[in-house]
Structure 1
Amino acid sequence: MQKPNRTLLDNNRKSLIVVEVKRPAEDITKDYVIGQLRSYMRQMKSDFGFLIGSDLRVFYDGPLNPHSDPILLERIDFEKQSEKGITFVKFFNKGSLAENRHDEYLKNKLHKFNKKREVNSLVQQLIGFEIKQKVIGYLRNEFPDTDDETFSDALQQVKIEISRKGEIKQQIVTTEKQKRTPKRKIIRPQNQRPNYQSFGGASPSAKIANIPFESHLETRLRHIYGVLYFMKQGLDYPSAIHQTHRLFPEVQDYETISDKCRRGFADSVDEFISWFNSDKILNKLLEKFSLTDHDYDIFKELLTQ
């Protein structure tokens, strides 16, 4: 059975740290290298693992780790007067280990690790589609005297985007490159608008609002059908929501229709769009609402045409 290069014990003679040393030229980010260290840590039941190669990496796999894999607490470059290196030596020298001062180091690093995860999670929510929908909802409420068609048309000429700063910089660089590239005349198609062929020339408002669903959730199914209909016509999700809202004037808040697609069906707007784009939405409708053959065929005709 292979063993790590070094093992450091705590005051109770229990393995506290395993140390694995690799050649500086070896890539210590490879899965098999990290997997080897993880195996040693589990084998020795060590809380900490030090992986030394081109730099020093400190891993933790003790009782405070909620994850299945060890946590990378810190990466320390081999540089003179490195602040990280000085702090590391301060907490992991022989005297500090004897006094269990590494517990303070662990507490601080776990706090930063968890904070970073919380920030990243919040960032993902901020740049997600649902926040964009709420921004659109706020804007819609700011113009109560504007009819839905006018607002929807105006919205299609406005770009609403929340993205990471790095992505914004990349967009700026790309734009600058485009400015330096000779422009060619491009004929773009006009914004795709819904056609009413599938309704025999009739306005969808005369059809969708009265689709004879058998389910007791017929109103919800009509709202979802309307959104899917307009998305099939090429509109994006927000525009499809607005167009569907026009078909149901009794719905006071257009967000209610969006809720039917989100909380009332998919877990999120992104999930709804993903199902639509991957052709999974028909089966998802069947599973969620236990559609009868009659109701299933109504959606099937729309989604497979």
Structure 2
Amino acid sequence: MEKWNELCFILSESVSINASEQIFELKVIQAFEKLGWSHFKKEISVRESIQIGSSNRITPDLIIKSNGANLFVIEVKKLSIDLKNPDHQFQLSSYMRMLRLNFGILIGNEIKIFIDGSLVGTNQFELLETISFKKDNPQGLKFINLFQKETFSQANIEKYIQEKIETIKDNQVIDHLRKEISTSEYCEFLKNKLKDKLLNDYNENIVEKVLEDFKVKIYNSSQIQIEAQHTIYLQSPRNSSENYDGTSKEMELAKIYKKVPVWFNKLDQKNSQILLNYLKLRAQKTPVTFFELEKACERIENFRSSYQAMKTISERNNAKVFDEVGKIISLWEPGKDFVEKEYEKYLQRQNL
């Protein structure tokens, strides 16, 4: 791990964020010399001009060689550049393709390892791994073992690539299944499974009447940030605001039309702060969970009781603006458009 920590010092701590690309390139050369590759012996080839075809030439930043044979190519970008820019990946991939190399390394404010996408059945070059310059980083130790001259071997590289390819393929299958099980067909399948279970104890007429009031929705936990990996929420319209009679709904809307404009003008009120915090969170990500809103409102005294009143239809509440299903918060549908229009007016006033 000491050698990786030394690389972190060379490539991160000892160089200014505003250093030029030429200066940082010297640091990268120094780092790979620490890994045993010799610039003097031309194992590190710097800006070599290479003839491609009859009229084209390329000049990669660095090529690591052994006995004159190209092992891998390195594209260097200064620390202040965002490596997520696809142009940098394209430049590296062009060099890899022209040099007929299966993998290459992009180095800037972090290390990115790419492979030829044809190895995983795609036309794009695939990102295998991103390694940050953090001391004692286990990924950094793996990088050292793979790319230092002493332990470098094509067999180890191929094994590493195959392991990463399997991970990429597994993730592709996982992403596909996550999307598939969120479809209405799977929701209906789960509802039918629930029905079969209930039919063991109740007659079909009762079960049909119970389930006709329920909807099944599958949420991805990586989006809603709750504890269970995939959670199924059953929502009964009879217990939701959608099933209140017209009189209650119209009365609640009348409250919204009266109260919400005031909330967007008197920002010292608890209701104002809670609603604004929700709308700001929603602008950053969807959906918003109760726990996220509670954290955003941690300085609001008696937040829970105030929030409870904002999601409930009752004679004494100020106005219902929220719905909550399985800790996921949304704007109450009947009043949603009005709230959003008032919020737009608020934002316009703030920008004046």
**TM-score, length-scaled by structure 1:** 0.53
1:65 aligns with 2:183: no
- Once the two structures are superposed, residues 217-236 of structure 1 have per-residue CA deviations (whole angstroms, 9 ceiling, x without a partner) of xxxxxxxxxxxxxxxxxxxx
What amino acid is the match of 1:26? I
1:51 equivalent among 98, 106, 116: 106
User: Which structure has more strand as a fraction of its residues?
Assistant: 2
What amino acid is the match of 2:289? Q
Correspondences of 1:121-270 after superposition (within 5 Å): 121-144=176-199, 145-147=203-205, 151=207, 154-166=210-222, 167=224, 169=226, 170-173=288-291, 176=294, 179=304, 180-181=306-307, 182-183=309-310, 184-186=318-320
| 1:94 positional shift | 1.6
What amino acid is the match of 2:204? T
Structure 2: which 5+ residue stretches go unaligned?
1-56, 227-287, 298-302, 311-317, 322-352
Identity fraction in percent: 23
Secondary structure in 2 aligned to 1:95? coil
Q: How many residues are aligned here?
A: 185
Evaluate the alpha carbon distance shift between residue 158 and residue 68 of structure 1 in structure 2; reply closer, same or farther with a 3 A threshold. Answer: same
1:74 aligns with 2:129: yes
Q: Write the distance in 1 (CA, Å) between the matches of 2:97 and 2:61.
A: 15
| 1:24 positional shift | 0.6
Give the alignment's Cα RMSD to 1 decimal. 3.0
Q: Write the distance in 2 (CA, Å) between the matches of 1:160 and 1:98.
A: 53
Q: Write the distance in 1 (CA, Å) between the matches of 2:74 and 2:185.
A: 46
Q: Write the distance in 2 (CA, Å) between the matches of 1:66 and 1:45.
A: 17
1:39 aligns with 2:91: no
1:11–1:98 CA contact under 8 A, matched in 2: no
Q: Write the distance in 1 (CA, Å) between the matches of 2:68 and 2:177.
A: 41
Q: Write the distance in 1 (CA, Å) between the matches of 2:59 and 2:157.
A: 24
What amino acid is the match of 2:139? K
2:145–2:152 CA contact under 8 A, matched in 1: no
**What corresponds to 1:303 in structure 2?**
none
**TM-score, length-scaled by structure 2:** 0.46
**What corresponds to 1:4 in structure 2?**
60
Evaluate the alpha carbon distance shift between residue 168 and residue 152 of structure 1 in structure 2; reply closer, same or farther with a 3 A threshold. Answer: farther
Structure 1: which 5+ residue stretches go unaligned?
188-305
Evaluate the alpha carbon distance shift between residue 3 and residue 151 of structure 1 in structure 2; reply closer, same or farther with a 3 A threshold. Answer: farther
| 1:168 positional shift | 5.0
**What corresponds to 1:106 in structure 2?**
161
Q: Write the distance in 2 (CA, Å) between the matches of 1:49 and 1:19.
A: 6
**What corresponds to 2:74 in structure 1?**
19
| 1:10 positional shift | 6.0
